[in-house]
Every structure is written in structure tokens, then in C-alpha cells.
Amino acid sequence: MSEGFDAVWRKSSRSSEQGHCVEIAQNMPGVGAVRDSKAPGQPPLVFRSGQVRAFLRAVKAGRLDR
């Protein structure tokens, strides 16, 4: 992920104080990335931008709530 890209990571404003959350980077052309905030040195999951937008819409709509 670091090859040629400078990912700008952000956490949800609803992340827990213990840091149990994911971070997302959407500032790279054509792709978005997701990583575990507790393991930022591990490789992120990289998706096409449209896939990331669809995921975020599903989260915001509550379709992934248990």
C-alpha cells in the first residue's frame, strides 16, 4: 500500500476508546483501503472506490448491524 501512494487514514467518530475499529483511506485514485486500527503495520485490504462507497452506504443504512 505504501508503494506510490500516501494513504490518509481516518477512524470513525464512533470508534471505541479501546481502539476496536477499522480505519479507511479514500484519498488514492480509483481505490480505497481498510485496515485494523490495532495493527496499522499490517497490509490493508484494498478495494475499488465503488466497492468502498457501497460498503459505507450499507454501514450507514444499518444493513450490516447484528
Question: Does residue 27 lie in a domain region?
Answer: yes
At 51-60, the pLDDT tens digits run 988 988 998 8
H/E element, 24:
strand 22-28
Low-confidence ranges of the chain (pLDDT < 50): 1-4
pTM over 0.75: no
Domains contained in the chain, number: 1
Length of the chain counted residue by residue: 66
Question: Does residue 2 lie in a domain region?
Answer: no
Question: Does residue 1 lie in a domain region?
Answer: no
3-state helix, strand, coil in the chain (%, to 5): 20, 30, 55
What integer pLDDT is reported at residue 19 of this predicted model?
A: 66
Question: Does residue 66 lie in a domain region?
Answer: no
Question: Does residue 4 lie in a domain region?
Answer: no
Structural domain of 41: 10-60
What integer pLDDT is reported at residue 47 of this predicted model?
A: 93
Question: Does residue 3 lie in a domain region?
Answer: no
